Amino acid sequence: MSVDQATLDAVIASLTTKPAPAPKPHCLARCGERLDPMLVTDPATGAGWHIGCEPAAQPEQPVPPADLFTVVTGPAATGKTRAMDRFVDAITAPPPPTLDDLRALLYDHEANSARSRQKKIGPSEIGVPCQRALAYKLAGTPEQPDLRLPWAPIQGTAVHAYIADALTAHNEILGRERWIVEQKVWPDDTISGSGDAYDTDTGTVIDWKLVGDSSITKYRKEMRPEYRVQAHLYGLGHERAGRDVLWVRVVCLSRSWDYGKSWEWTEPYDPEIAQKALDRLYATEALLTDLDVANNPAMWGAIPATPTKDCRYCRFFRPNTPADDTGCPGNPDPWA
């Protein structure tokens, strides 16, 4: 076998040619310091990074949720319709006020509550001093709309529910029913109401009122007539249910942070107070019929009224107009 001269020269050249030297290790930061071969990350070029020379890691950019914007392409992708503009707006603008949403929610919830929908007069309204206001309630006269959130009644409802839970739990601890809680009672065959509590140990009817400190100061001088009558009506209801009623009590719970400012009013149970209130109620009902106010609105002025500086709080207050089937002018000088 013979080998031509060209093949022989190529074999000799391959045996005698030195391999190309490996690339010199160097730092990509061009710091000028020698780079340890162990730190080379690209063997083909000898490049790598000194510890401390490597660039800081860049944080990943957040990917906007798909539902925060709509990708728009073409001519429409301008101005505030661009995806990034909408995303920036979404993450920089605060959400709508929760207070406003909560106000509307609570207002609607309270308007649809059983208490707000109640049309029939109850023990809490029978003792109102003004007979004309009582007559308006009996006649079903539309009340002056109040667009304010009934925040105080809402708080009262919450406190009543909490106390009811606490008394029920105490009964379980005692293993007996000391407290009769939220019991529906009937002062007569047509009037009913839910009594807050009855203490079987002391024969005491209890009604909770969540009030401001100024009201407590006022009630210390004279208990509000509506509250007093209401307590005795509940007492009559418990008595008709076969319970021994000795005392009636209105517990005025302070709406402030200090429970110690709370105060309670107590007096012996007197069924005559409750009966007189019922008699007045039915006499007012008869007066509405006798005066035929449904067909003679002007006769509302013949129903006795008790104007006071508190007339402005009455839901039937219609100032500067004669009393009729829409309301009453009340005290012409509410600040007198």
Q: Are 169 and 45 members of one domain? A: no
Q: Are 127 and 47 members of one domain? A: no
For the beta carbon of residue 257, count every other beta carbon within 10 angstroms.
Answer: 7
* Tally of residues, the chain: 336
- Assigned domain for 236 exists: yes
Q: Are 38 and 169 members of one domain? A: no
> How do residues 240-285 score in pLDDT, each as one tens digit?
999 999 999 999 999 999 999 999 999 999 999 999 999 999 999 9
What are phi and psi for residue 235, nearest 5 degrees?
-60, -45
Q: Are 154 and 236 members of one domain? A: yes
Q: Look at the block and give the residue holding tokens 């407290």.
A: 179
- Report helix, strand or coil for 97: coil
Strands 26-27 and 47-48: parallel
- Assigned domain for 186 exists: yes
Q: Are 309 and 226 members of one domain? A: yes
Residues 125/137, Cβ–Cβ less than 8 Å: yes
Residues 6+ apart with CB under 8 A from 321: 327, 329
Between these two residues, 51 and 208, which has the higher pLDDT value?
A: 208
Strands 179-185 and 193-199: antiparallel
Between these two residues, 109 and 31, which has the higher pLDDT value?
A: 109
**How many domains is the chain partitioned into structurally?**
2
Looking at the chain, the number of H-run helices and the number of E-run strands are 10, 8
Q: Are 304 and 206 members of one domain? A: yes
Residues 280/225, Cβ–Cβ less than 8 Å: no
Between these two residues, 196 and 311, which has the higher pLDDT value?
A: 196
Domain range for 309 is: 122-313
Residues 77/65, Cβ–Cβ less than 8 Å: no
Q: What is the CATH number of the domain that holds 248?
A: 3.90.320.10
- Assigned domain for 220 exists: yes
Q: Cα–Cα distances in Å, from 322 out to 266, 285, 290, 316?
A: 40, 21, 20, 12
Residues 49/41, Cβ–Cβ less than 8 Å: yes
Q: Are 152 and 27 members of one domain? A: no
pLDDT of residue 61: 60
- Assigned domain for 184 exists: yes
> In this structure, what token pair is assigned to residue 242?
């076969």
Q: Are 48 and 140 members of one domain? A: no
Q: pLDDT band at residue 237, thresholds of 50, 70 and 90?
A: very high
- Assigned domain for 331 exists: no
> How do residues 280-307 score in pLDDT, each as one tens digit?
999 999 999 999 999 999 999 999 999 8
> How do residues 301-333 score in pLDDT, each as one tens digit?
999 999 888 888 899 999 888 999 999 998 765
pLDDT of residue 335: 44
Q: pLDDT band at residue 57, thresholds of 50, 70 and 90?
A: low
Q: Are 134 and 35 members of one domain? A: no
What mean pLDDT do residues 32-52 have? Answer: 77
> In this structure, what token pair is assigned to residue 247?
């005392």
pLDDT at residue 336 tops 60: no
The lowest-confidence range among 1-10, 147-156, 321-330 is: 1-10
- Assigned domain for 102 exists: no
Q: pLDDT band at residue 186, thresholds of 50, 70 and 90?
A: very high
pLDDT of residue 14: 63
The model's pTM is 0.70
Residues 183/199, Cβ–Cβ less than 8 Å: no
> b/e map of 174-185 (b: 16 or more CB within 10 Å)?
eeeebbbbebeb
Q: pLDDT band at residue 41, thresholds of 50, 70 and 90?
A: confident
Q: Are 174 and 28 members of one domain? A: no
